[in-house]
Amino acid sequence: MTSTLPTRTAQAPARTWTAVLFDLDGTIVDSETEITNSLAHMFVTMGLPVPDDETLRSYVGPPLLDSLRMTAGFTDADAWEALHVYRDHYDEHLLASPVFPGVAGVLERLHAAGMPIALATSKPESMARLVLEHTGLAKYFDVIAGASEDEERSTKADVVAEALRRLQAQGVDTADAVMVGDRGYDTLGAAANGVPTILVEWGYGSPAEAQDAFAVVHSADQLRSLLLG
């Protein structure tokens, strides 16, 4: 899909990265249709009007439970009920999301170069693993970190911290790790762990979300060049 992030090339200082963390939705897979359709189903099931498309897209990325409380104004009890309704529906369509063009090639090149790769997503870890296995991409990842089923680990900052911890447990040097994502939420979560972020234009971000990124790329080739030189 075409993103609304500002078009600017990856003009950033040359860096030698020691590990790469990837977001999932909007970065590796184009899951907007499946997620927003499940959100619409959730609102209907909860007896509420379905928000407009822009509002539904804003739910893609951040932890859904938090968004239901803060954006939709749900009580804790209603938020949990809505989350279960959403997951039951989304689980049936989870594997329909296609991989963005060129991304599989970037992962393959990174893996071939010996670059440690981790997934850091706010999607439940079990779901994320299924997506990567279905798309044939799981083999490129040293670590797959996502939200815990009980949502105790759900913020991007917590997930990035967990991904880094697991990489370090494998002996990976994470001193110069970088995050690849599509939302300002990725940038903030990575920054909380001292990690810079490269934002991809093909995702779901807005112009305001790009201001704190290390770089913005508009193609898989640009991303590969920035990660591998």
Which residues lie closer than 8 Å to 45 by C-beta, 6 or more apart? 85
Instruction: Tokens for 203, please give them.
Output: 């995702």
Name the catalytic one among 23, 158, 182, 186: 23
CATH number of 32-95: 1.10.150.240
The residue assigned the tokens 């860096």 is 15
Q: Return the pLDDT at 72.
A: 86
CATH number of 19-30+98-228: 3.40.50.1000
| Domain parsing of the chain, residue ranges | 19-30+98-228, 32-95
Residue 202 DSSP symbol: T
**First-residue to last-residue Cα distance in the chain:** 26
Same-fold call for 19-30+98-228 versus 32-95: no
Q: Return the pLDDT at 12.
A: 64
Report the candidate in 121, 119, 125, 96 with the shortest Cα–Cα distance to residue 107: 119
**In 3-state terms, what secondary structure has residue 147?**
strand
| Tens of each residue's pLDDT in the chain, 229 residues | 444 444 444 556 668 999 999 999 999 999 999 999 999 999 999 999 999 999 998 888 888 988 999 888 899 999 999 999 999 999 999 999 999 999 999 999 999 999 999 999 999 999 999 999 999 999 999 999 999 988 888 899 999 999 999 999 999 999 999 999 999 999 999 999 999 999 999 999 888 898 899 999 999 999 999 999 8
Which residues lie closer than 8 Å to 160 by C-beta, 6 or more apart? 21, 120, 145, 179, 189, 190, 192, 193, 195
182 counts as catalytic: no
Contact 59, 15 (CB under 8 A): no
